[in-house]
Structure 1
Amino acid sequence: MELTSSITQVTVPARQGRAVRVRAGDLVRVSTPRGAQVGDLFAFVSGDLTEHLSASHTRGHVNRLFPEVGEQFVTTRRRPVLTLVEDTSPGRHDMLIPACDPERYRQLGHTGQHASCAENLTTALRELGIGITTVPQPVNVFMDIRAAPNGELEWRSSPAAAGAAVTFRAELDCVVVVSACPQDLVGINGTETGPLLIEIGTAP
């Protein structure tokens, strides 16, 4: 799907996050320029940050672990906030795993400071003058988590090739945040962490 020439592009540097304001009807494309980079995606309804994209409500809404193209992500009030309109990746995304945070890295044996998606979220929102008290569970685009027959989760490297992208249509005015996941202790991001790209436009 082509976007119009009036596209806003925001680079999300490796291990960092960025927030963008979008209006209902805008298209939001998230791509992995190098491939195999997971992105934690959040969306907060403009004017009421207590209403936000909810992975758990979306699972119930679409009766799937991740919606197919044409299906919707809903908020904590069960209103559609984003619709998945195109996916050029292998379609492996995740709505089970919470955002990584400092405690997660401590439990994995890391000592000292380590970037995390939870902190990237709050930092990115703070740059827009927005504060939150709770980190929602994100939609983890390009993240390949599978359930084994015994119920255990398998953490696989992202299969997204260089340039793979997912495109969403905003159904509500909202603030979208994308974190280029800094996880380097579990092999979800290929051989190294990398950047992501956010593009905002409209359909021609």
Structure 2
Amino acid sequence: MTALSYPEPVTVPARQARSVLLRTGDRVRITDVAGGQVGDVFAYNADDITEYHSAAHTRTHTSRLFPTLGEAFVTNRRRPILTYLDDTSPGTHDMLIAACDPERYAAYGDPGHASCAENLALAMAGHGYPALPHIPQPINVFMRIPVGADGDLSWFAAPTRPGDAITFRAEMDCLVVVSSCPQDHNVINGAGPSPLTLTVLPATTEEKIR
């Protein structure tokens, strides 16, 4: 894994994705610039992309629908990949809803619409992976999909305010892709898709050797 420097925040334009490479102990802060924007987060082992964050394995690991602060997201090999380190948002996130994809927008009668699945594929192609075998279940930061007592899911606008942020710590060298969700056929992105930013905070010496 090549060491990279991110002296400035990386802007994720509305409806697009950007990626960052993290070394173990590095942190990435995802900020909702305008408020009300969902981000689809994907995390891969930087040395072997057949290992990636798994929502199902994480739910098994934590016995929760979403980790609480200090808990880890784990991979399909049950190893920690990211830790939920800090959160200035209302703390409402999701790991049940699949990434939007071309098929979903075709069903809306909107073929050619941008999607998180395609955004992920484009980002990974830029890292030399032109054909992903499948699209993992993302960590849907800032997404508000409450589960009712009867098991029904509700779709609400993201409750974030401008500048709200969530921070993850890398527990292995990893490639993190974040898509500023382009969904505009329902209310999850409020008035419509808007940008996110990614700020990489390098690991301290203690974090590198822990």
TM-score by length of 1: 0.94
Check conservation: 1:36, 1:157, Cα contact below 8 A.
Answer: yes
SS at match of 2:37: coil
The aligned residue for residue 126 of structure 2 is 127
Measure how far apart 1:127 and its partner are. Answer: 1.4
Alignment of 1:183-202 (within 5 A): 183-202=183-202
Measure how far apart 1:174 and its partner are. Answer: 0.7
Matched, 1:87 2:87: yes
Measure how far apart 1:7 and its partner are. Answer: 4.1
Check conservation: 1:7, 1:201, Cα contact below 8 A.
Answer: no
The aligned residue for residue 19 of structure 1 is 19
SS at match of 1:19: strand
Check conservation: 1:19, 1:128, Cα contact below 8 A.
Answer: no
The aligned residue for residue 114 of structure 1 is 113
1:66-111 CA deviation, whole Å, 9 max, x = no partner?
Answer: 111101000000000000110111010000011000111122x223
Matched, 1:175 2:164: no
SS at match of 1:83: strand
Size of the aligned set, in residue pairs, is: 199
Check conservation: 2:105, 2:111, Cα contact below 8 A.
Answer: no
Structure 1, gaps ≥5 residues long: 1-5
For residues 122 and 44 of structure 2, the distance between their equivalents in structure 1, rounded to whole angstroms, comes to 15
The aligned residue for residue 3 of structure 1 is none
Equivalent pairs: percent with the same residue?
54
For residues 8 and 79 of structure 2, the distance between their equivalents in structure 1, rounded to whole angstroms, comes to 26
For residues 166 and 126 of structure 2, the distance between their equivalents in structure 1, rounded to whole angstroms, comes to 25
Measure how far apart 1:19 and its partner are. Answer: 1.4
Measure how far apart 1:133 and its partner are. Answer: 1.8
The alpha-carbon distance between structure 1 residues 22 and 8, as it changes in their structure 2 partners (threshold 3 A), is farther
For residues 13 and 203 of structure 2, the distance between their equivalents in structure 1, rounded to whole angstroms, comes to 26
SS at match of 1:125: helix
SS at match of 1:118: helix
What amino acid does structure 2 have at the position aligned with 1:51? E
Measure how far apart 1:203 and its partner are. Answer: 5.9
Measure how far apart 1:180 and its partner are. Answer: 0.3
Structure 2, gaps ≥5 residues long: 1-5, 205-210
The alpha-carbon distance between structure 1 residues 25 and 203, as it changes in their structure 2 partners (threshold 3 A), is closer
1:138-195 CA deviation, whole Å, 9 max, x = no partner?
Answer: 0000000011222211011000111110001100001000000000001100111101
SS at match of 2:123: helix
What amino acid does structure 1 have at the position aligned with 2:85? V
SS at match of 1:144: coil
TM-score by length of 2: 0.91
Check conservation: 1:82, 1:171, Cα contact below 8 A.
Answer: yes
**42-51 or 6-15: which moved more?**
6-15
Measure how far apart 1:125 and its partner are. Answer: 1.1
Kindly report the root-mean-square deviation, in angstroms, between the aligned alpha carbons of the 2 structures. 1.5
For residues 49 and 111 of structure 2, the distance between their equivalents in structure 1, rounded to whole angstroms, comes to 31
For residues 117 and 111 of structure 1, the distance between their equivalents in structure 2, rounded to whole angstroms, comes to 15
Measure how far apart 1:55 and its partner are. Answer: 0.8
